[in-house]
Structures are given as C-alpha cells and as structure tokens.
C-alpha cells in the first residue's frame, strides 16, 4: 500500500496521481534494493508536484517533512538516481515542506513572535539550498534592473559543475514556480587561489 508513504496534514486534499506514483516508486525501492531498505523504511513524503520546465520537459518536486530532511539527505543522491530512472526524462528534486507565517500587522498581532525560520525570506533561502543539495551555494548577487525587476544570481560550488550543468535550467524553473522569483544559477568563472 503506497498511501502510507504519504504523510499529509489533517484536512489536506487526498493524494493525487503523481504523489501516489512517487510513493509507489519509494515503496518498490524499499522492497527491492537491499542497501536502501533500512534508510527508506521510516521515510515519508508530504506531497509531490510536477513542474513544466520548458521545451516540453517536466520535473518532479518531492516535498518531504522537515524533520525527515536530514534522513533524506543521507540517501538523496542514490534515491534521485533511482527515481530518475523510473520517471524517465524527468528530473527529481527534494524540497522540505516549510510553512511561511504572515507578517504581523497592527491589527493582527500574534501572542508569540514569529520565528525567523517561518519568515518568507528564510523559507525561500532554504528552498534554494534544498534544490541544489548536495552542492553548496558559494555566493549570491541580487541584480536590480532599471525597470525594477530583480534577478538573483546564485553561484554554486565548481567541483560539482560536471554533475549539475544539465540541471541548472530545471533549478531555475522550479524555483520560479515555487517562489515567483527569477534566479540564475552559475558556476564562478575563476576560483581565487590563496
């Protein structure tokens, strides 16, 4: 039964086709791949979304509960490889399901102050980190054009350039879909030698 691999909050819509197929794929991997069995048994997903990335291509974004993110990171490279085999010509990305709390206004004051981890900025930065995992982000620049539009330039670790080059467009499209912000991923041209 694949549905027990999906942990949805109470009152959420029932699992759709994509979510069930991802859950089934995880279950199959758990049952068929001996070295992944122990790690995959406790893991669940919160939801999954299919995102158009242009050129007729699609990516699957798998949302995981925040407490399980570390456990997913342990097996993420292997898991991504296996899932991309199963869902051919679709990139698979793992992102933690985080909640953004609204900014307190004068008329809607909360009893508790809003933690930094629930702010829009913090959540968007974390989504960026999750998308490019296991690569590290080494720098960021925000470019504001004359018309007021902003583009974020994100520099990734050059040691992963060969393994990630083909996924950069996917990262940009998925980040734009999730946050509405324009972002460009690059590898720094020159590395400073000290």
For 105-155, the pLDDT digits (tens) are: 878 777 778 888 888 989 999 999 988 888 888 899 999 999 988 999 988
Contacts of 39 (CB under 8 A, 6+ apart): 71, 74, 75
Q: What is the pLDDT of residue 194?
A: 47
Write the DSSP assignment of 66-114 as a string of letters.
Answer: GGGHHHHHHHHHHHHHHHHHHSTTEEEEEEEE---PPPP-SSS--SSPP
Q: Which ranges in the chain are annotated with CATH 3.30.300.20?
A: 1-97, 124-194
CATH numeric code, 124-194:
3.30.300.20
Over 50: is that where the pLDDT of 96 sits? yes
Dump pLDDT digits (tens) for 155-177. 888 888 888 888 888 888 899 99
CATH superfamily of 1-97: K homology (KH) domain (3.30.300.20)
Residue 175, Cβ neighbours under 10 Å: how many? 24
The set of long-range contacts for 142-149, using a CB threshold of 8 Å and a minimum separation of 24, is 149/182
pLDDT in tens, 76-90: 888 888 888 888 878
- Rounded Cα–Cα distance for residues 135 and 132 (Å): 6
Is residue 29 scored above 90 in pLDDT? no
Look at residue 2 in the predicted model and tell me its pLDDT: 64
How far, in Å, are 37, 91, 98, 105, 181 from residue 110 at the CA level? 44, 40, 19, 9, 28
pTM for this entry: 0.82
């Amino acid at each position: 039964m694949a549905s027990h691999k999906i942990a949805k909050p109470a009152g959420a819509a029932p699992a759709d086709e994509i979510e069930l197929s991802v859950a089934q794929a995880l279950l199959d991997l758990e049952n068929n791949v001996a070295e992944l069995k122990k790690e995959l048994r406790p893991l669940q997903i919160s939801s999954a979304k299919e995102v158009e990335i242009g050129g007729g291509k699609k990516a699957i974004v798998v949302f995981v509960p925040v407490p399980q993110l570390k456990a997913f990171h342990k097996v993420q490279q292997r898991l991504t490889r296996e899932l991309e085999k199963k869902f051919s010509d679709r990139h698979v990305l793992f992102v933690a399901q985080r909640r953004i709390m609204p900014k307190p206004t004068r008329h809607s004051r909360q009893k508790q102050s809003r933690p930094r981890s629930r702010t829009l900025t913090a959540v968007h930065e974390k989504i960026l980190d999750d998308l490019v995992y296991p690569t590290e982000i080494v720098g960021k620049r925000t470019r504001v054009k004359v018309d007021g539009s902003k583009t974020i330039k994100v520099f990734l670790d050059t040691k992963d350039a060969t393994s990630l080059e083909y996924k950069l467009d996917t990262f940009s499209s998925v980040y734009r879909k999730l946050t509405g912000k324009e972002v460009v991923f690059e590898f720094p041209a020159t590395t400073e030698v000290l």
